[in-house]
Amino acid sequence: MNDQESDDKVDLEELFDSSVEHEPTPMGERVRRTADLTLVAPARVALTDWRAVVGTLILFGFFLAGTAGVVLVDRPTSGDAPILAPPFQNLNYILGTDTFGQPIGAQLIHATPAMFKMIFAGAVVSIGVAALVGLLSGFMRGTVVDTVLMSVTDIVITIPGLPLVIVLMAIFAPKNPYVVGVLLGLDNWPGLARTVRSQVLSIRQESYVEASRIMGLSTGTILRRDLLGQLMPYITINSALASRRIIFESVGLYFLGILPFTTFNWGVLMNLAYKGGALNRPQMLHWLIFPMVTIFLMSFGLVLFSQGMDSVFNVRLRARHASTTSDNSAMDQGQGDGDV
Amino acid sequence: MATNYLAKRFGQAILTLVATIALSFVLYHAMPGSPTESLKNVILSQQAAAGGSTVNIERLNRLVALYTNVQPDQPLYVQFYQYFSSIILEQDLGTSIYENKPVTTLIFERIPWSMFISVYAMVVGYSLSVLIGAVMAFKEKSRFDSVSSVVLIGLNSVPYYIVGILLIYFFAIQMSWFPYGGRVSSSVTAGFNVPFMRSIVMHAVLPIFSMSMLGLGGALTMRGNSVRVLGEDYLRVAKLRGLRGSRIATQYVGRNAILPMYTQFMIGIAGVFSSAVIVEQIFSYPGVGLLMYNAIQTQDYPLLMGSLIIFTTVTVVAIFIADLTYGFIDPRISAGADNE
Amino acid sequence: MSVRDEIFEIRNLDVSFELNRGASRVVRDVDLNIHREETLGIVGESGSGKSMLSSSLLNAVVEPGVCSGEVTYYPQDGDPISVLELSESELKRFRWEEVAMVFQGAMSSLNPVMRVRAHFRETLQDHNRDIPAGLERARELLESVYLDPDRVMDAYPHELSGGMKQRALIALSLILEPEVLVMDEPTAALDLLMQRSIVALLDDLQEEHDLTIVFITHDLPLLTKLADRLTVMYAFGIIENGTVDELLYNSSHPYTRALLAATPDLNVPVDEMHAIAGSKPDPVDRIEGCSYHPRCPIADEHCRSSEPPMATVNGTHESACFYHEKAREAVPLRGDSKQEGAVHE
């Protein structure tokens, strides 16, 4: 908790500096400080929370599979191995093979990069739109812009996401994983946008902001300084939850066969196995089960990570702004639209 | 204040509907090529199947207009006005290309079934999460509490459609307790008789359970809220007043802990309705979701857009009803205050 | 008259909490008598155990605190009741019917989603009282605390001000006509004016309803206006007892005297009496000898090694100090000479 104190002192110094004559902090110092605040301190707290540790490990495992794994394991092709080999028999296809003789393990690994692309695109779109809408309407509170943006937000919250996404997918039939991610991210921003807006509003009301305003700093400068730190928890946790949602939806759509089968995808595997009647044929069951386990693992990692981060940030927030009465954790606010 | 709030929510509901209709109109035009182009092939193949002769462009436009209410040869604003007014004034969502029946007829046949499983899924999911969350809070830090948290995080990481597949595998295929598809057994006669009712219930159990997974995320929120309420002064005073335990549990802990979740529940309505699309496909449950799925397979765009509009309407109405009732549950809402 | 003078008799009361670093004993071996229809003021620093003592009168010490010892309640008629041995259902009846309590969280002591009327109704219902008659009585009570029953009964808590809530709560505490009203810092969160008006109100109510009031506060000046008798607590035990006049003008414990000295003017309340040198004791520590010896100016070897018993100073005035005769000179009060003159003339 010593970092905490030093952080606050730094803030205070900056405050006083600016009242006399504002000298910008050296770039290196600023980077170091930001790194300390946003990376080192949370990491240290995160190590004490088992959920954060396990979640991060799982996600790192998937990261390895998506980068090194793709290089190390050959891209599966038909006839690589005997068809429908049972799992845990042969080291070359340890998870068994499908009806085309493609090793299931290799397919799972080669589906990971596309998954990451989707998640990345989806998270960037949803977080980006959310930040843009939230900041704009927060800054322009009470204006027409605010009213319009918030109405749009409410409308998007209400429109059932999945049917809309399905219609979009049916019309555009996207093949590129980035495009799939963007389309999935399109209806995922309103919750975070509202959070960002209320954070902007609450920062404007805090007493130290009032003080810096009296000292002559512009509202913009103050918000820039404090907003990022304040929003980090929400952005991190929402990214994790948005990722989980994108996995659920994309796999669901591939599983239904609504998205074109262009690449390897866990949902495609499930679709082929399910359509092939894996539920009724014990010798095919592994074809269905391993993709499901993979999806579970990845979202379990994401959920653990978000919950761990939630408590990490809560500890930090509580220490920093003991006076603010925000009992709601970022988790609660993200959860509402995290479902689906 | 209260009427003001409701007026605002009503306006928002209307706006959402208008926005969805506008969106579906835009989507017709956003299809690769024009609506004429993209529908041409579909219609032509239908015609060919029906043994029709060659069609000229005017006839095609007429057909497009007949099916979609979009008249491709008119200026855009006229097109939109006609599209919009035929939906609002005549409740005409166009005609299904594949089935050659009015979209409204097709959808209204199916809606009760989707509503049936969605409503019960919501009731089951939310009651379970409230109950589990409350018990966890009462036994805070007990074994039950910690085990349940891990189980809930686990369930949060399993997409509801995977739950659906697992339910089919274990309870329909392995145990044969429930049928694994359809909405009623073909062997019973329709009507107001016990075997028919029983068959409907048996067919609905598994879809309802897999959809209710969506509501379970609320259990952890409920736990947090209950823990907070258990520490409130009014709870201590209620105990000091010698009130009955059941009254304290429901009127004091229950009511005050559930209230903050009401918004989350409202937003969740959209999610549960949406999930019908995937769940109905897995269970071959003939509701609107399955209709929509089939529409994608047959490129039946009028039916697809109609389903989207109907899904939105149902969600908007459900959320509006929830808004109406919110005032009865939380007296503070009438005091105004857009507390965010 | 066969009615006993005591309404409460506390013997060897202990309250303790199990903490990771050991048992925390927040009330230690307390003996106390509460007389019928008196107003007893219990005063002490925050953390001296006074709230725990008062909660134990209803066997309502917050979990996971454990009470031991004897708390005996003598009803107007009927057999004495041993409060700490009551069963769950007996306790539910005992609370609010015999002893009611208003404590410092008055601002949030009412259920935010229920009207004030519902609070009265559910209390009556769960104690099997006649509801229409009870609600009529509730209106009278609200009137007697200067609230408009028509308005307040139909109001939700958030529609009332802090003072109104506090008064509504006092009315609620009297709805079942209890014998004893325990008030734990009921005025802490209110402004001065509201404090005074509530104190005046309590005086009237006590007379009207033949109440016994136990009033807990760290606001000594407030107590001197209200109480008949004072009990001073320090470090989880009682160190001095006596009538208000005795304690004000003839206090015989160095702590009480330091307390009085630290209160600049009895007409001005102080929030914390921290002007006394030294720090508060930790409830986990074992205390050797007199609990006040580390801060006491006249402590000697005797005080450090053995615990002083309660000794009678004068009539009902008792002090737990070996040197209660010397305390007066050792810790002088401001204006003592003048007061002394006044008392001895």
Domains and CATH numbers, chain C: 6-227 (3.40.50.300), 233-344 (no CATH)
pLDDT averages per 10-residue partition of chain A, 340 residues: 40 41 60 68 70 86 84 74 69 71 79 88 90 86 86 85 85 85 86 84 70 69 69 81 87 85 79 79 81 88 84 62 38 38
Is C135 a residue whose pLDDT tops 90?
yes
B142-169 tens-digit pLDDT: 888 888 888 888 888 888 888 888 888 8
B88-112 tens-digit pLDDT: 777 777 888 777 788 888 888 888 8
C150-174 tens-digit pLDDT: 899 999 888 888 888 888 888 898 8
Domain edge (last residue) among B88, B103, B129: B88
Domain ranges in chain A? 50-310
Domain edge (last residue) among B88, B121, B142: B88
DSSP tag of A84: T
Q: What is the mean pLDDT of residues C237-256?
A: 85
Q: What is the CA radius of gyration of chain B?
A: 25
| Predicted complex ipTM | 0.81
- Closest CB to B273 among A155, A160, A248: A160
> Do B165 and B280 fall within a single domain?
yes
Q: Report whether B210 contacts B167 (CB < 8 A).
A: yes
> The CATH number of A50-310 is which of 3.40.50.800, 1.10.3720.10, 2.60.34.10, 3.30.70.360?
1.10.3720.10
- Give domain status of residue B156, yes or no: yes
- Closest CB to B234 among C60, C94, C110: C110
Torsion-angle region of residue B314: left (phi > 0), alpha (psi -120 to 50) or beta? alpha
Q: In this prediction, what percent of chain B has a pLDDT beyond 90?
A: 1
pLDDT of residue A121: 92
C30-59 tens-digit pLDDT: 888 898 888 898 988 877 888 888 888 888
Q: What is the mean pLDDT of residues C264-275?
A: 50
Q: What is the mean pLDDT of residues C338-342?
A: 41
Q: Do chains A and C touch (3 or more CB pairs under 8 A)?
A: no
Whether residues C108 and B331 touch (CB distance < 8 A) is answered with no
Q: How confident is the model at residue C133 (pLDDT cuts 50, 70, 90)?
A: very high
Is C272 a residue whose pLDDT tops 60?
no
Residue in B with minimal Cα distance to A334: B264
Q: Report whether C166 contacts C194 (CB < 8 A).
A: yes
> Do B130 and B256 fall within a single domain?
yes
Q: Report whether A75 contacts A106 (CB < 8 A).
A: yes
- How many Å apart are CA A103 and CA A113, to the nearest integer? 17
- Give domain status of residue B99, yes or no: no
- How many Å apart are CA B320 and CA B333, to the nearest integer? 15
Nearest CA among C252, C254, C243 for reference residue C291: C254
Long-range CB contacts for residues B199-202, cutoff 8 Å, separation at least 24 = B202/B178
Enumerate residues 6+ apart whose C-beta is below 8 A from A330. A195, A233, A234, A237, A238, A310, A313, A314
Residue in B with minimal Cα distance to C58: B240
Enumerate residues 6+ apart whose C-beta is below 8 A from C59. C67, C71, C83, C84, C86, C91
CATH classification at residue B324: 1.10.3720.10
B256 Cβ under 8 Å from any chain C Cβ: yes
Alpha helices in A69-218 (DSSP H): 70-72, 104-139, 144-158, 161-172, 177-185, 190-205, 207-214
- Give domain status of residue B38, yes or no: yes
Q: In angstroms, how far apart are the furthest CA atoms of chain A?
A: 78
C287-324 tens-digit pLDDT: 777 888 888 878 888 888 888 888 888 778 888 888 87
- Give domain status of residue B107, yes or no: no
Q: Report whether C128 contacts C96 (CB < 8 A).
A: no
Q: Which tokens hold the place of C84?
A: 């700490």
Chain A contact partners (≥3 CB pairs within 8 A): B
> Do B207 and B314 fall within a single domain?
yes
Number of A:B CB contacts under 8 A?
Answer: 143
B335 Cβ under 8 Å from any chain C Cβ: yes
- How many Å apart are CA C34 and CA C232, to the nearest integer? 14
Within 10 A of B267 (CB to CB), how many other CB atoms are there? 20
> Do B179 and B81 fall within a single domain?
no
- Give domain status of residue B205, yes or no: yes
- Give domain status of residue B96, yes or no: no
Which residues of chain B from 275 to 334 reach within 8 Å of chain C, CB to CB?
Answer: 329-332
- Give domain status of residue B62, yes or no: yes
Using the CB atoms, write b or e for B141-154: b if 16+ within 10 Å. eeeebeebbeebbe
Alpha helices in C128-191 (DSSP H): 131-144, 149-153, 162-173
Angle at the Cα of C228 from the Cα atoms of C225 and C231, rounded to 5 degrees? 100
Domain that holds residue B245: 113-331
- Give domain status of residue B340, yes or no: no
What is the SS3 assignment for C13?
strand
Q: How many domains does chain B have?
A: 2
pLDDT of residue B154: 86
> Do B120 and B15 fall within a single domain?
no
